[in-house]
Chain A
């Protein structure tokens, strides 16, 4: 640990009130009773399964997996230390940060789950809305409240949506899961357009702040980018509008076919125009009833929890000179902060060879110390399976970097080719067809030379072990999809996807490559980009300009017609 005497700092984030604490406590007691009844045989597995899923507990390949909600990716140091404690006490000393900005433990015993949930409740955490056909954990921009690019901090609205959707009586048993993200910048760091529903804080022509609402995005078997439902919804109407979208989905979605139950299928079947019409009808009805307006005082109350910290003034805004390695790290992993003298620092959990998103209990404890010493007690989890220290003084960056080097978390690779998203894949997941993590590890090692990474520039590789796409392969500049061919792992390449503000669905190149072929195929694809790119082009730009043919020919080592 960095310093066992580090005093925990309570960051500005939502804190449970009496109702929240009582609600979560009662839920823990309820599930403890359900576990006891399952172990005694009073509940059958068929009866118990939906109950455990409502509490984030899956049965995976090797053991139970518990998924813990990290609302909009925000964690306090106290919570991080609790996660480290759970990893050490109840799991195998490590946890896995996911593409939903949650944390998963892979070796949980059913008999321990009530104790774990009580420990989580002690630090205002739970596993509700991390599974099942409900509104899932709301995600957001990891730079929220720290970047000067945003219109306002999107987390108060994310928290309001969390509270509105938690056990909403109409939406507890949706046709399928429903994922919502909230952002407040033009630059999209939260993959907004890939969500069932997304809200972007915007200003209208009269400079009034409101919300753009999108719906119908999603990965999985049938990938779609979201459609705009409304360019501008007034502040006080936002819950009514979101409820209208969910109500149309709940009423009109197909429940007869698991592959056609997401809102993306409904919208792309009836068309976005018809969806907008149906939503508008519901919205007007909700407005006429007048019962779901968001009162300004409630918005103010929640916003107060996220008040900007008291940043020091008079700090130098110059970046410290601490050597070439540090400068490289700053180049990719440090982002401009809204307060002079401060910065946002990304900790990539992606040192080449590491399991993307994994952290040991000791690493979590040390990061908690870093949070307290240098980042006002706070960290953010990103959908790219990294962590972010949102409020650090620039003068402290060399000390942070030195400690991250000790942790083996100091790779200067945020946004580069080795900053790879990978789902747990066949190493853990009961649904997977192929392993994802070893492919990510091998690709990261193959491209670990930093000069080469910088030469390649921004290139996002995303790997999924099955068509469910938890590794976001559809949104990868280079996506990789693991498939099963008669019990053997193969990997399809998908090119041209994006999870950013220029969102697009990647295109499958063709037949899959064997486990030992996929690395060479990716390298040949990257080499085509390097040969073909024009000044300033990212991989994605070159792909969009020249199309699939040359990449495909190189990947399969075919001759290209002149």
Chain B
């Protein structure tokens, strides 16, 4: 974060210096042109030219000055706009670079943590000092770690693929409400560092024509995010699924760190993660909501975030077309 601020500051300094130089040159040219008129008039006077001739010289020079001045203003504006565009793209490039560095660090953490726990569990299974009853409980946990690794690798691969060629859903008609119900149960029972309580209010038999696996990943990403960024313990997540005209609305509400208004769209950008005191120490790759958005868009749906601000929790809403018969 500090490094990014330093680079952006450097770009700003470059922009200010460039602007100052251009403006200084413009001032210098203006002064120079004004002096040139005076010099020409002085020379004409020294040569005892007639008043009419001197007036003509003055008029001619003023016309020339206006022409050159207008051209100067045009080029000045063009140069300043150019400098501003360069500055803006430098800042953007730094932003992208920072997000990519951040992504690499996050992915490293996300991959290494399940690897570390797998390594420890393998040590436990091979150790004579660990009692058999403890060993019995290890295998399901190892499966969870393998699933986490698989999901992470899949997310990284998909992020690249979606960017290049978009997502092609495998469409079929299925009961979306049943899928949401199953996922709520599964996510609630997964291993979390805190207790998780999901309060669901789901309408029954909402059918959609879509990619069941893709939408399962959307549900998983949104719920995982809600739990990770919850600040209450146990984490209370309120989930509702309701019918709307020609569609359905799935809503997930957490009581966590919340979002500032200008971040409410950005959380769906690839690699984007909010760097703040409240989110420090929360692991994530910045891919979950990006992939969720891509998947929802591929279904012709809409996903958006709402929040009253920092510390006020976040609501993620997804609207999808239904396929009622």
> A and B, one complex?
no
Residues of chain A whose beta carbon lies under 8 Å from any beta carbon of chain B: none
